[in-house]
Structure 1
Amino acid sequence: MVGPVSSWWQLGLSIAGGLVLAWALLIVTLLVAARRGPDQVTLQGALRLLPDVVRLVRRLAVDPDLPRGIRWRLWLLLGYLLLPVDLVPDFLPVVGYADDALVIALVLRSVARAAGVDALERHWPGTPEGLAAVRRLVRLDAPR
């Protein structure tokens, strides 16, 4: 019975190796994204917006006018942000918080496309400059 056990170990090691490779590619992608040009929202700027963004996400999540699927996405995002375990550990410089910023940007982009930019503007708790930065972060067109 050495054959089947050996093949299970090989399969397990192959899956583990693939996951490690995917994780390493994620870190490289986040590093490249964090070093983009000055016209992009910087990681530090995105982190400064985090309190307002969390309030925005919570306000959107409880808005009864939004479809249930969008609200579920937002609650899942809040849960991900509250979990102590991340895709990339926060103690790693630069990329530690980049995964949070990336997940926030992707969810807010999908919410803005599904619910409309007006929903983001209606619930934004911060300054107009902060809203403009969020619009750039989620790659929406320039403010009206």
Structure 2
Amino acid sequence: MTGSWWWELAIGVAAALVVAWLALVAVLVVVRPRGGLLTEALRLPPDLLRLVRRLAADRALPRGVRTRLWLLLAYLAMPIDIIPDFIPVLGYADDAVIVTTVLRSVVRRAGIDAVRAHWPGTDDGFTALTRLTGLYRTR
């Protein structure tokens, strides 16, 4: 029974990421950001998930930072959200707000350099992440 639970969790996380990515694509098509931000923003969800996982596993970071990141991963994996995902736009807005809040707290506590060191994507992707989340203001 334990193995079944992990598979269900993995499938739920994968499905949530696909749906969140599709919602991001829809929003970006409507908003149409300038320059390469659109292309890089489309690559953000997989890179962002790897970033959070890498930061959460980094024992050099303070325990409170790692705990926040593990709780973020758990929240994103949960099928129940503050605002249900079936509500257009708002359903995914709560996830975006929580991810941004946690990343900002990580930057305040561990520094932008720690986030940059673990970023798995391109330099343009990191720039897109900092612009979309407002992390560049916390430097």
Range class of TM-score, shorter chain:
0.5 to 0.7
Q: State the shift of 1:123 in Å.
A: 0.3
Q: Which residue of 2 aligns with 1:28?
A: none
Q: Is contact 2:52-2:73 (8 Å) kept? A: yes
d(CA) in 2 for partners of 1:82, 1:112: 23
d(CA) in 1 for partners of 2:80, 2:42: 18
Residue ranges of structure 2 left out of the alignment (5+ in a row) = 1-26
Q: Which residue of 2 aligns with 1:115?
A: 110
Q: Is contact 2:100-2:133 (8 Å) kept? A: yes
Q: State the shift of 1:119 in Å.
A: 0.6
Residue ranges of structure 1 left out of the alignment (5+ in a row) = 1-33
Q: Is contact 2:83-2:94 (8 Å) kept? A: yes
Q: Which residue of 2 aligns with 1:68?
A: 63
Larger Rg: 1 or 2?
Answer: 1
Aligned pairs (5 A) from 1:1-144: 48-141=43-136
Q: Percent identity over the alignment?
A: 59
What TM-score does the superposition give when structure 1 sets the normalisation length?
0.65
Q: Is contact 1:47-1:101 (8 Å) kept? A: no
Runs ≥4 residues deviating over 4 A: 45-48
Q: CA RMSD in A?
A: 3.0
Q: Which moved more, 1:47-56 or 1:122-131?
A: 47-56
Q: Is contact 1:77-1:107 (8 Å) kept? A: yes
d(CA) in 1 for partners of 2:83, 2:42: 16
Work out the number of aligned pairs and report it: 108
